[in-house]
Amino acid sequence: MTKRNNLNYTIMNMSDLTNEDKVFIRTIFNEMRKSIQNFITERDFNLSNAQLFAFLSNSPAALAIASDGAVDEKEIAGIEKLSKGIDIGSSVNLDLMEMMAVAFEPDNCITNEEFNIRVGSEILFLAKNFKKYESEFVNALKAMLTFDMNPKRDGSLSSSFSKLMDTMIENNVSKDKEAEMKKMKELKMKIGI
């Protein structure tokens, strides 16, 4: 088999995973986890692989909201609305869950129920503390995007991140929309979308 730069996790059959694929998965999850380790430690938010994947998949919302330097009531309402739809059971399918099982997972992870309850407040905390954690989350999202086999395809991680960020900004009319859109474009470029 030729070396892979990306892994198509939506199609890959676990029995077809090579040792190289498993190392790739472990490496990417380790990189994602390591990138946001300060956040995880400071927030006492010890995440399973599925929780990490779901949290990072929704963290672009926090980055988008905070791109104007402030988090207002309308943005808080947007995060609350978003967080009601975040659920491990619906965010991570069984094939993806099985694939993640080859990656290291820390002991003492929070339960999925606790994750579902806390995820909104953690996204809000991230938005309010954007400057402190920006580079860590940009690096984690870049690592996560290495799983994206076809970034231009609708439903890919790249298009999902971009769409989520755009939706959060569209629902928030700031005083200087042009400057905010410019910052958003710069942030997307940093992430690689």
| Nearest CA among 143, 91, 82, 138 for reference residue 112 | 91
pLDDT tens sequence across 19-51: 998 999 999 999 999 999 999 999 999 999 999
Q: In whole angstroms, what is the distance from residue 96 CA to residue 179 CA?
A: 38
pTM here is 0.87
What's the pLDDT at 175? 67
Q: In whole angstroms, what is the distance from residue 169 CA to residue 66 CA?
A: 10
| Nearest CA among 126, 95, 127, 109 for reference residue 10 | 95
Task: Give the dihedral of Cα atoms 77, 79, 80, 85; nearest 10 deg.
Answer: 140
Task: Give the dihedral of Cα atoms 123, 126, 127, 130; nearest 10 deg.
Answer: -160
pLDDT tens sequence across 110-137: 999 999 999 999 999 999 999 999 999 9
